[in-house]
Structure 1
C-alpha cells in the first residue's frame, strides 16, 4: 500500500490562526509566514495525504497558555481532532475536566523551550492528570528527562514523550537522558512519538544520523507504544520540511506492519479513535 493511501493518525501537529485568534502580546515568539497553519488548511493537508485523525498540540510559540484556537479546531473538526493543552500549573481539577469534555486528552510540558526550573511546581498537576486518566506530554532535549523521570515515576502518570526524546546525539548512546528514556520504556508508563528528527539531527534531511536512535527507540518502546507524528507546520524550523517527504522517509525506514502499528493501530488505541 502506498504510504499516502495508508490510513493515518498524526500524533503531533499544531494549528495557528492569528487572524481569528490573535497571539497574546506577552508570548515572546509569534509564528508567521509558512509557520502558520489554520485548522481549515490542515484538514486539506490531511485529505491529501490520507490522514484521518490528528492530535493537535497547543503551541507554546504564539499562543502560550491561550487554548482558544486549539479548542475551536477540535470543535470544528468533528471527530477528526483531539488535543493536548498548555495550562497553568495550578489549574483546578474541574477546569481540567472541562477541557476533557472539549476533547483535550492531556497537558504539554515543554522543557526544551522553558527549561526544567519553569516546571518545578507541576507535581500536583501530574497527580491530577493521573487521577483523570489524562496524558502528561513532555518535550525534553539532551538529558532533561533524567531529572523528570523520578517525578513521573513517583506520580505514576501516563506519559507521552515528543520527538524521540530529542537526544543530543554527540553525547552518545549512554547519555543519562537516554538511560532515563529506556527506563521509562521499561516501566510501561510511557509512549513515544516517532517524529521531530530535524530537532536533533546534525546533518538535516534525510536525517541519516538519527536513524540508529530512532530504531533503538522503536525497539525499546515497541509497536504498542510508538506513534508517528508530522510536527506540522514545523514551528521555528530553520529549513523547509514537507509532509510528503517525511512520510516517504517513514516508508523507507519501517516495514508495512510497523507502519500499520505506529500510524494507525497504536494511536487509535491510545487516543480512543
Structure 2
C-alpha cells in the first residue's frame, strides 16, 4: 500500500470559512489568504492522503467562542469528523451535553494564547468535562504546564495535549514544562499529539531538532497514547507547510507500517470514538 493510502486520522485541523461564517468582531487575529481553509477544501486534502477521519478544532483565531463553522462541519459529515469546541469557562453541563450530541468530544484550553491565569477558575468546567467523558484539549508552551498540571490532574478529566506540549526551542528535555508533560503519561488518561514541530523548532523544515522531544514522548506515552496531526491549514506558520512532506516525515520516524498504523489509525480511532 502506498504511504498516502494508509488509513489516517488527523487529530488537529481547522476549518476557516469567513465567506459562510464571518469572523467574530472581537478576535485578535483574522486568518486570511492561504491560512483559510473551507470544509470542502479540507475534504479534498483528506481524500488525496488517506485521511479517513479528523478531529476539527475550533480556532480561537477568527472565531473565538463562535462554534457555528465547526458545528456545520460536524452536521455535514457526522461519520467523518469529531470536534473540539471553544467555550466560556462557566459553560453549563446542559450546553456541554448539547455539544456532545452534535459530535463534540472536548473543549479547548489554549493557555499558549490566553495565558495560564485565564484558566484559573476552570476547576468546575473540568469536572463537568470529566462527568461527560469529554476531553480537555490543552495547548501550552514552555513551562506553562507546570502551573496547570495540579488542576488538570485532580479534575479527573481526560486530556489531549497539543503539539508535543510546545517545549521551549533548544531548552532540552529537562525543561520543567516538558518534564511535567512526560509525568502525565503515568495517569493513563492523557494523550499527546505529535504535531506542530514548527512551533518549537529553531531549524527549518523538516525541523529535525524537534525529534528529540517526539522520541521522548513516544517512549513515555507509547504508541497507545500518541496521535498524529497536521495542524492544517497551518495558521501563522513561519514557512510554507504542505501535507505530503508531513506524512513522509512519519515514515522516516516510524519505518514499520504496523507502528504507523497505531499512530495514524488504531490509537486515535479508539480514543476519539470513530
- The two structures have a TM-score, normalised by structure 1, of 0.98
Moved over 4 A (4+): none
State the alpha-carbon separation in 1 of the partners of residues 273 and 176 from structure 2. 33
1:149-228 equivalences in 2 (<5 Å): 149-228=149-228
Check if 1:89 corresponds to 2:70: no
User: For structure 1, which segment, 257-266 or 162-171, has the greater mean C-alpha deviation from structure 2 after superposition?
Assistant: 162-171
In the alignment, which residue of structure 1 is the partner of 2:4? 4
In the alignment, which residue of structure 1 is the partner of 2:259? 258
Structure 1 residue runs without a partner (length 5+): none
State the alpha-carbon separation in 2 of the partners of residues 211 and 2 from structure 1. 24
* Structure 1 residue matching 2:11: 3-state secondary structure: strand
Q: Residue 219 of structure 1: CA displacement?
A: 1.1
1:1-273 equivalences in 2 (<5 Å): 1-254=1-254, 255-273=256-274
State the alpha-carbon separation in 2 of the partners of residues 73 and 30 from structure 1. 20
1:202-256: CA deviation from partner (whole Å, max 9, x where unpaired): 1020111011111111111011100100000001112110011100111111132
User: For structure 1, which segment, 176-185 or 29-38, has the greater mean C-alpha deviation from structure 2 after superposition?
Assistant: 176-185
Do 2:163 and 2:196's aligned partners in 1 also have CA atoms closer than 8 Å? Answer: yes
State the alpha-carbon separation in 1 of the partners of residues 89 and 15 from structure 2. 23
* Structure 2 residue matching 1:224: 3-state secondary structure: coil
RMSD of aligned residue pairs (Cα, Å): 0.8
- The two structures have a TM-score, normalised by structure 2, of 0.98
Do 2:170 and 2:201's aligned partners in 1 also have CA atoms closer than 8 Å? Answer: no
1:54-82: CA deviation from partner (whole Å, max 9, x where unpaired): 00000000001000000001111131111
* Structure 2 residue matching 1:142: 3-state secondary structure: coil
Aligned residues: 273
* Structure 2 residue matching 1:171: 3-state secondary structure: coil
